[in-house]
Amino acid sequence: MMKKSLLGALAIGLATSTSAFAQTEIQWWHAMTGANNDVVNRLADEFNKSQNEYKVVVSYKGQYADTLNAGIAAFRAGNAPHILQVFEVGTATMMGARGAIKPVYQLMADAGEKFDPQAYLPAITGYYSTAKGEMLSFPFNSSSMVMWINKDELKKAGVNEIPKTWPQVFEAGKKLKAAGHDTCGFSNAWAPWANVEQFSAWHNIPMATKANGLDGFDTEMKFNSPAHVKHLQNLVDLQKDKTYDYSGRDSKSEGRFTSGECAIFLTSSGFYGNVKANAKFDFTSVPMPYYPDIQGAPQNSIIGGASLWVMGGKSAAEYKGVAKFFTFLSDTDRQAKLHQESGYLPITKAAYEKTKASGFYEKNPVLQTPLLELTNKEPTENSRGLRFGNMVQIRDVVSEEIEAALAGQKPAKDALDSAVTRSNQILRQFERSVSR
């Protein structure tokens, strides 16, 4: 009897062990921090608990550029993750990486997963699709740039209306500085994204030829126009007494808003989770400011954030698990909840409609701001999006030149002329690399 019990226990143990061993692991490398890191962990945990065939394992790899570089290095070394979160400026680089990726539309078809590309918001998926509408990567945390406002501090400074134009922002910044914000009247994170990329689209000015690279890799930069120079010169002038204060190339400085230091701050709408968790004041977000003397402004904003790229060289079983995970992420209720909690845009039409129908935006207008910007007008060639090879390096170059101008090392026009020349050199290097 005891032998039978022992054998039974062994059989159960072996079965459990075999089941655990058979579970296919899916590695997901990401760049999310703070409240958004919690969202990533929760999604993986919920997926893992929803079934027992696959296990998604998340790994934080640093900021966006760090994560992209880590993924590229891992692919070359033969140990790439299954899923790599890549910010939007890495799209052209990923598209040009032959053999390194498995397109999402192909992944879903091969895995036999139900997949309708028309179910996703075109303003988002267009950025990550071929000219034929084939989705190459899976939209995840899409966002746009908005202007965050500390309503309490504006009121104390005597700014009675939230600024809508750049001249109004400059005046509000001066009042805030006079009211005690000595180190920051207004500022922004992501300097190149704010002051060149979104600035160009929002004012319907080309950043580059060939529809900002969407129509071909043989594009040339044009962001040294009189409007671009005027804007940078205004920031240079206001930096001198810290009415404007530079906050760096990425999102590391966003705490300057939640701490109360900067009462006007331009950065991603995806900052919402951190603002909600940490701001001890009445806040809101509004559309980016514009120059009223530029005809047609404001136009529409472009998306930011990141998408999930599936890396090449994996087994059919592993790809099946990735496809199951993407189906899980596309669920309407899950997408609506993700949007409402994180501030990132809903990626499916159904999730957007569900959120609207619930009356959510009447109570939470902050989360509709990026959607209103993206759909403000029908996109033009200047505002459909950007697709530049080696964009990470280009952003570094643009940042260097902006920083040189703000430091008084060169005039604004010289800085932007140099940034354009250097960026075009990088584009030609990329063009040669993908045409070999």
* Whether pLDDT at 14 is above 60: no
Contact 320, 148 (CB under 8 A): no
Q: What's the CA angle centered on 392, arms 386 and 396, to 5 degrees?
A: 110
The model's pLDDT over 312-349, given as tens digits with 9 standing for 90+, comes to 999 999 999 999 999 999 999 999 998 888 888 888 88
Q: How confident is the model at residue 436 (pLDDT cuts 50, 70, 90)?
A: low
More confident residue, 20 or 163: 163
pTM (2 d.p.): 0.83
* Whether pLDDT at 8 is above 70: no
What is the signed CA dihedral for 178, 181, 186, 190, rounded to 10 degrees? Answer: 160
pLDDT at 275: 94
Percent of the chain exceeding pLDDT 90 equals 73
**For 105-120, what is the mean pLDDT?**
92
pLDDT at 322: 98
* Whether pLDDT at 16 is above 60: no
Least confident of 1-10, 276-285, 409-418: 1-10
pLDDT at 30: 96
Q: What's the CA angle centered on 191, arms 272 and 127, to 5 degrees?
A: 70
- Partners of 30 in the β-ladder: 60
Q: How confident is the model at residue 420 (pLDDT cuts 50, 70, 90)?
A: very high
**For 143-165, what is the mean pLDDT?**
97
* Whether pLDDT at 19 is above 60: no
